[in-house]
Amino acid sequence: MSTLARYKTNYTVIIYHLCTMGYTRTGLMVIALTVEGITLALAFLLSWYFDIPLLPLSGNVLRDVLTGTAGAVPPFVLLIFCLSKYAAGIPVLGSLRKTMLSDVKAVFANTRFADLVIISILAGLAEELLFRGVLQIRFGIIIASAVFGLAHFITPSYAFIALIMGFYIGGFFYFSGSLLAVVYLHFIYDLAALTYLEYFTRDLCANHKRPEV
């Protein structure tokens, strides 16, 4: 076997294993519960330290649920475009599309819909209490959004989009004045995004078959 052929074979093996990597269902749920549990505990700890009340989340539950649901629509529509073939050649969006359809999709490959619901609820509640309920109130929207972007660093493009999303949710919180509204926005967006990604998109790794070595 020539050096070039050996290189191509090794590359194919690497790509195949990267694409087929994934968490077990139990493993992913343990990670989600741990990470979001720590995030929630940190939110309450910092809220106590800075004397920032987090409860009650809402003064009008129905209004905030409806507002949060409506607020999740624009970023979800943008996500659908980002995952489409039309975004493949656009800087930043093309890189984000590749990350979502390979790396992120692979992480949730073994989950069921109920798992996505639980993960989305945990993320919406824990992250919004920390980033909007504490950090934005204490340090402002710029710092809170920057930390939010860094906390979601998978690739530079993914972190950049998370930064933009942080500003969007932060602005929504500023104008709505309700933590429940942004918690629900985050929950609905995550659930819709993960459901669409998992069940309605084609995996970029699907073209990579098990290599013959």
pLDDT tens string 154-181 = 889 899 999 999 999 999 999 999 999 9
Domain assignment present for 213: no
**Distance between CA atoms of residues 81 and 199, nearest Å:** 16
What is the average pLDDT across 34-39? 96
Helices (H), the chain: 3-20, 25-49, 61-82, 93-99, 105-107, 113-130, 137-139, 141-151, 156-176, 179-199
pLDDT (0 to 100) of residue 130? 98
Q: Which residues lie below 8 Å from residue 88, measured CB to CB, with a gap of 6+?
A: 94, 97
Domain assignment present for 211: no
Cα dihedral sign for 43, 114, 172, 175?
A: negative
pLDDT (0 to 100) of residue 205? 58
Does the pLDDT of residue 206 top 80, yes or no? no
Determine the structural domain holding residue 129 and report its residue range.
3-206
Domain assignment present for 15: yes
**What's the count of helices (H) and strands (E) in the chain, helices before strands?**
10, 0
Percent of the chain with pLDDT over 90: 73
**Distance between CA atoms of residues 82 and 104, nearest Å:** 14
Domain assignment present for 40: yes
Name the domain count of the chain.
1
What is the average pLDDT across 43-56? 96
pLDDT in tens, 178-200: 999 999 999 999 999 999 999 98
What is the average pLDDT across 132-149? 97
For residue 206, what are its two tokens? 């699907």
For residue 59, what are its two tokens? 């003064």
pLDDT in tens, 88-130: 999 889 999 999 998 899 889 899 999 999 999 999 999 999 9
For residue 71, what are its two tokens? 């607020």
Domain assignment present for 212: no
What is the average pLDDT across 71-86? 95
Does the pLDDT of residue 68 top 80, yes or no? yes
pLDDT band at 29 (very low <50, low <70, confident <90, very high): very high
Closest CA to 68 of 182, 171, 193: 182
pLDDT (0 to 100) of residue 155? 86
Domain assignment present for 49: yes
Domain assignment present for 55: yes
Chain position carrying tokens 């930064």: 163
Domain assignment present for 98: yes
pLDDT band at 15 (very low <50, low <70, confident <90, very high): very low
Say how many residues make up the chain: 213
For residue 192, what are its two tokens? 């819709």
**Distance between CA atoms of residues 61 and 97, nearest Å:** 35
30 or 1: which leads in pLDDT: 30
